[in-house]
Amino acid sequence: MNQTELLSQALDEVRDGQIEEAAQYQKKRRKPWLRWGGLAACLAVAAAAALLLRPAPAGGEPIPGGKPVPDSASLQAEDVPETAQPALQSPDPPQEPETAVSDEPASPIYSVGVQWEEVSAEDYGGVTSEACLAYYTPEEIFAMDTVIFRGIPRSVRYFRVRLDDMDLWYRVFAIEVTACYRGDLQPGDIYNLLCDGPSTVSGLIESLGTADEAIFMPRIATGETGFSLSGSDSFFCYADLAELYLGEGIRFLFLEEDGQVDYARDVYDIPAADGQTVTLDDVAAYIAAMTG
Amino acid sequence: MEDQRIVELFFARSEQAVAALDEKYGSLLFRISDNILQNDLDAAECVNDTYLGVWNAVPPARPSPLCAFVCRIARNLSLKRYRERTAQKRGPALPLEELAGCIPAPSAEDVLSARELGQAICRFLDGLDRESRVLFLRRYWFSDPVKDIAVRLGVSENTVSARLRRLRIRLQQYLQKEGFP
């Protein structure tokens, strides 16, 4: 073995975190206009005045028949300040998240090159698509980075998202939290949960109605969670419409209907306290045991 | 697409997994391979071999972070191909060879030495500020050209060269202090 081979092998010991850091590091360049100080400030004031004096813009290309898209939907990812993170991502979550008492979706700031509109339930045209489930054991599922909470949907809104030439369909449930088993969600607060349009893995999402009580295991939507097409720069970021998202409703949702809980019985072996019927309390106890 | 989603696609044996991996890390992997091989065609083949390697490894492996996992595969495949090529004729020198003066001559206990040396280098990197660590790894792990590092760090090529030289001296001193002759 020569020295190059020895070094090559030695550098194999470099840790994953160090490699990832080096792979992703890009020093932020100082923007040239910052050098112009006062002049830039004057230009900004002039530009702001011009904007105030002209008629309000339509805001992006409207979808035919749809409502205008906010201007911020066309922001580039690099324009988003590092501090612009969803409330749930904050290292020190505020006691009262901004969205805690609202069922309005978050402002569109992360998505690039997409348009969306809210549609009525009648116009919601989601076409069932094919999807596959990856096999996970219950231990693997509970080891995933999800929040787990019990709650009741208070409303549902429907969205058509246009990404390049493709229409994507989503539902956003405003869910009132009644108990939180993992994460920082506060009982009584309302969080927006985004669900994919109908697919072969939608499962119980298709049955979820307002006033149904359920236990949810969604992921937190961040600036990086979303959908994009291969070879396209367009990116639909889930965090623009909701704080949480649920792509699959088979194993990540336990829905109580007519006094019974529907869930993936082939995955979870949940004992019933009365020996007969599994309730949401039984599910909660099972989750507590699984998550320690 | 987030890494975990890509891994899930591999677990689902979805062909989209490779497309998603290519979209997110394709250019990075190509750069690693091309830096080592200095040949676009060979690099493209190595990247494809990397995807095959990931496809075969996941599942059962569940890499986290995915980035480092795929980069390691691409680098190892590229170095292997580099060695095969240079066994026949002398190819372009690797940036790695700049470090040769910092380390002792290989001993009979090469495998153990490589691991110990690697762990010492890790500790050395831990003691550096972030930018110096990135600089070192971009040059000697990713085999980036100096001019690319200069662009990445927003400094001149001369600055990069000078800082690399100082880092090599510090590494040599550190290794001597750690008991490497």
Note the pLDDT tens digit of each residue in A113-133.
Answer: 888 888 887 777 665 566 666
Q: pLDDT at position B4, please?
A: 86
Q: pLDDT at position B176, please?
A: 86
- What residue of A is the nearest CA neighbor of B14? A132
| Positive/negative CA dihedral, A29, A30, A33, A36 | negative
Give me the residue spans of the domains in chain B. 3-88, 95-177
DSSP code of A251? S
Note the pLDDT tens digit of each residue in B162-175.
Answer: 889 888 888 988 88
Q: pLDDT at position A90, please?
A: 36
Considering only CB atoms, B137 lies closest to which of A5, A22, A134, namely A22
Q: Do A14 and B118 touch (CB under 8 A)?
A: yes
- Torsion, Cα A118 A119 A124 A127, to 10 degrees, reads -40
Q: pLDDT at position B145, please?
A: 92
Contact between A80 and A223 under an 8 Å Cβ cutoff? The reply is yes
Q: Which residue did the predictor score with more confidence, A122 or A96?
A: A122
Note the pLDDT tens digit of each residue in A269-279.
Answer: 999 998 888 99
The reported pTM is 0.45
Confidence of residue B156 (pLDDT cuts 50, 70, 90): confident
Task: Tell me what the mean pLDDT of segment A58-82 comes to.
Answer: 36
Q: pLDDT at position B107, please?
A: 63
Looking at the predicted structure, is the pLDDT value of residue A162 above 60?
Answer: yes
CATH number for B95-177 (one of 3.40.50.720, 3.40.640.10, 1.10.10.10, 1.25.40.10): it is: 1.10.10.10
Q: pLDDT at position A45, please?
A: 59
Residue A26 with chain B: CB contacts under 8 Å? 152
Mutate which of B71, B102, B159, B172 to test chain A, going by most A C-beta atoms within 10 A?
A: B71
| Positive/negative CA dihedral, A292, B6, B8, B10 | negative
CA-based nearest distance B94→chain A, Å: 8
Q: What is the DSSP string of A47-115?
A: HHHHHHHSPPP--SPPPTTSPPPPGGGG--GGGS-TT---GGG-SS--SS-TTTT--SPPP--S-BSEE
Looking at the predicted structure, is the pLDDT value of residue A87 above 60?
Answer: no
B156 touches chain A (CB under 8 A): no
B114 touches chain A (CB under 8 A): yes
In a domain, A144, yes or no: yes
Chain A positions touching chain B (beta carbons under 8 Å): 1-27, 29, 132-136, 144-145, 224-228, 230-231
List of residues 6+ apart from A87 with CB closer than 8 A:
A93, A94, A97, A98, A99, A243
Residue B100 with chain A: CB contacts under 8 Å? 3-4, 7
Radius of gyration, alpha carbons of chain B: 18
Q: Which residue did the predictor score with more confidence, A50 or B96?
A: B96
Burial of A93 (0-12, 13-18, 19+ CB in 10 A): middle
Q: Do B137 and A29 touch (CB under 8 A)?
A: no
Q: pLDDT at position A59, please?
A: 35
Q: How much is the ipTM here?
A: 0.85
Domain containing A178 equals 100-292
Is the preceding peptide bond at B104 cis, omega within 30 degrees of 0? Answer: no
In a domain, A13, yes or no: no
Q: What is the CATH number of the domain that holds A142?
A: 2.40.50.140
Confidence of residue B93 (pLDDT cuts 50, 70, 90): confident
Considering only CB atoms, A7 lies closest to which of B4, B14, B99, namely B99
- What residue of A is the nearest CA neighbor of B101? A3
CA-based nearest distance A146→chain B, Å: 12
Note the pLDDT tens digit of each residue in B27-56.
Answer: 999 999 999 998 899 999 999 999 999 999
In a domain, A17, yes or no: no
B11 touches chain A (CB under 8 A): yes
Q: pLDDT at position A178, please?
A: 94
Is the preceding peptide bond at A93 cis, omega within 30 degrees of 0? Answer: no
Of A22, A115, A135, A134, nearest in space to A68 by CA: A115
In a domain, A41, yes or no: no
Q: Do A230 and B2 touch (CB under 8 A)?
A: no
The one-letter amino acid at B165: R
Residue A226 with chain B: CB contacts under 8 Å? 1
- Output the CA–CA distances (angstroms, integers) from residue B32 to A8, A44, A189, B50, in the order listed: 14, 42, 47, 11
Query: What is the number of residues in chain A?
Result: 292
Looking at the predicted structure, is the pLDDT value of residue B118 above 60?
Answer: yes
DSSP code of A289? H
Q: How many domains does chain A have?
A: 1
Looking at the predicted structure, is the pLDDT value of residue A155 above 80?
Answer: yes
Note the pLDDT tens digit of each residue in A205-226.
Answer: 888 888 889 999 999 988 788 8
CA-based nearest distance A13→chain B, Å: 5
B3: which 2 tokens?
Answer: 């890494």
CA-based nearest distance A260→chain B, Å: 31
Looking at the predicted structure, is the pLDDT value of residue A40 above 60?
Answer: no
Q: pLDDT at position A179, please?
A: 94
Distance CA B100, CA B120 (A): 15
Q: Do A230 and B65 touch (CB under 8 A)?
A: no
- What residue of A is the nearest CA neighbor of B96? A4
Q: pLDDT at position A182, please?
A: 92
B6 touches chain A (CB under 8 A): no
CA-based nearest distance A231→chain B, Å: 7
Give me chain B's average pLDDT, please. Answer: 86
Contact between B103 and B80 under an 8 Å Cβ cutoff? The reply is no
CA-based nearest distance B79→chain A, Å: 8
Q: Do A11 and B118 touch (CB under 8 A)?
A: yes
Share of chain A above pLDDT 90, in %: 22
Task: Tell me what the mean pLDDT of segment B140-151 comes to.
Answer: 91
In a domain, A167, yes or no: yes
Pairing of β A219-220 and β A260-262: unpaired
Looking at the predicted structure, is the pLDDT value of residue B24 above 70?
Answer: yes
Distance CA B121, CA A255 (A): 53
- What residue of B is the nearest CA neighbor of A136? B11
Distance CA A140, CA A130 (A): 24
- As its CATH architecture, domain B3-88 has Orthogonal Bundle (1.10)
Residue B117 with chain A: CB contacts under 8 Å? 6-7, 10, 13
List of residues 6+ apart from A139 with CB closer than 8 A:
A290
